[in-house]
Amino acid sequence: MTTSDSGDPGPSEPRQAGLVPVGPGSVEPAPPTGPGAPPAASRGLRGPRLVLVVAGAAVASLVAGLLAGRFVISPAQAAANAAPPEAGAITAPVEMRTISNDVVLRADTAYADAVDVRIEAAEISGPAVVTGQVPEVGAQLDPASVLLEVAGRPVIVLPGDLPVYRTLRAGTSGPDVLQLKAALTSLGIDAGDATDVYDAATAAGVEALYAKAGYPSPDPGEEAQAVLKGARESVRSAQSAIRDAETALAAAGRGAGDVEKIEADNAVRAAERQLAQARAEQAAHDAWAAQPADAGGPGPEAAPPADVAGAEDALTLARAQRAALDRPADTSAERAQLDAARRSLTDAQEELAEATTGALTALPASEVVYVAGLPRRVDAVHVGRGELVTGPVAAVSGAALRLEARVATSSAALLTVGAEGEFTLPDGTTARAAVVSVGEAKRPAGGGDGGGDGGGDGTVAGTQATAATAVTAATGARPGPAAPPSCWSPGT
């Protein structure tokens, strides 16, 4: 065997690697040597030593956990073990707010109560030609507004349910008169008392209605005007006759004046003188006639006897006339004449009253149309300027917008009549609405698409809520049927 100076075996010296003698007759694998061999300390933890170290660490961890669990307490356990605080008042801020539950619906929109408007053209004297005031679609008809102008005369819109069926004149009565008076009163026009009689006050109210519409009131007609003129002349003549009769009666009631009495006294004295003269002449005549003819008695030239009887009659008349002047005046004739004149005046005044009534302003059936639920919106116009009126002239609907929506039964319980909500207009603004009815939704007879939970009886499960609103000025414009609101949200 060859060795080096260092005492290490040389490369030519043979050796057995990896075996180390450990005792008699046994060998142990030798630890690896050379580059990459583990440190000596690591080599010492293998085997039973490693097991002991791991077991010791586990026991130490267990003991540490037990000690930590005994002395460390969680906040929740500490709160549970803590004593309760002393009793006291519990306070919270008070809030004032409305508790609401909003129901959002998709609604169909339409204007309520669409109707056709007809006018009574039978009483128009000539052709019923439309001469102007043709409304535009979308226009609003208010009380006392003019719907059309036919034959130069207006057709005035008034509120009412009863259609026109006759011309109203002074003296007529009935439910249509009551409707007219109610319409005039709603416009602030005095229509007279609350009876169903068309009187002078009602006629004055009709004149005010035409003035409000901007048209002259209807002409009473030439015949009525002629009758009225004649009645007025009769009244004036009767009044003049009464004045003459009253003058005569007053003169007769005053009696004779001093001049008349003096004249009567003079007449009595003159009659007395004439009677005395007649008696003297008669006495002279009688004395002459009693003489014999040979003594110069009466002959052919003798004077006739005096008219004593005539003088006596004249004196009697003069005395009677004088006595009459002292008695109260007899005015029976003058009073009878006055009574007759007064009766004539009464008759003339009655005729004048009738003539005046006949000449009062009437309301022609062709110049008025009653529409319920004003104001209304014009949906369609069936006539134009220059055309004849032969049927309905326009179609109108309620100016109030109606919203109809379907809602689930569970949500319907939140809706009550009178509940208010709001809906959005196409321009983004909102308007208010109020629920007017809530009821079971129905679909048209014959079925439908069978959507929802509906059965074969035509009833659709759910509830239909109907709301109506009058579009206010705050919206800027009323939405039309072509531009419905996007949604409606009533709050409860």
Residue written as token pair 């000025």: 473
| pLDDT tens digits, one per residue of 322-343 | 887 777 777 888 899 999 999 9
Distance between CA atoms of residues 484 and 142, nearest Å: 23
The pLDDT score that the predictor gives to residue 51 is 80
Torsion of CA 49, 55, 61, 63, to 10 degrees: -120
The pLDDT score that the predictor gives to residue 125 is 83
What average pLDDT is seen over the chain?
77
Instruction: Show the tokens assigned to 129.
Output: 């030609």
Instruction: Show the tokens assigned to 269.
Output: 């004295």
| pLDDT tens digits, one per residue of 420-478 | 888 887 778 888 888 888 887 765 554 444 444 433 333 333 455 555 443 332 333 34
Q: Of 414, 415, 407, which is closest to residue 461 (Cα–Cα)?
A: 407
How many CB atoms lie under 10 A from the CB of residue 451? 9
The pLDDT score that the predictor gives to residue 26 is 44
Distance of CA 166 to the CA centre of its chain: 24
Q: Show the low-confidence residues of the chain (pLDDT under 50).
A: 1-29, 40-42, 300, 446-462, 468-487, 492
The pLDDT score that the predictor gives to residue 305 is 67
Distance between CA atoms of residues 302 and 286, nearest Å: 11
How far CA 276 is from CA of 261, 281, 315, in Å, comes to: 23, 9, 10
Q: Of 420, 408, 400, which is closest to residue 468 (Cα–Cα)?
A: 400
Q: Of 466, 405, 472, 398, which is closest to residue 432 (Cα–Cα)?
A: 472
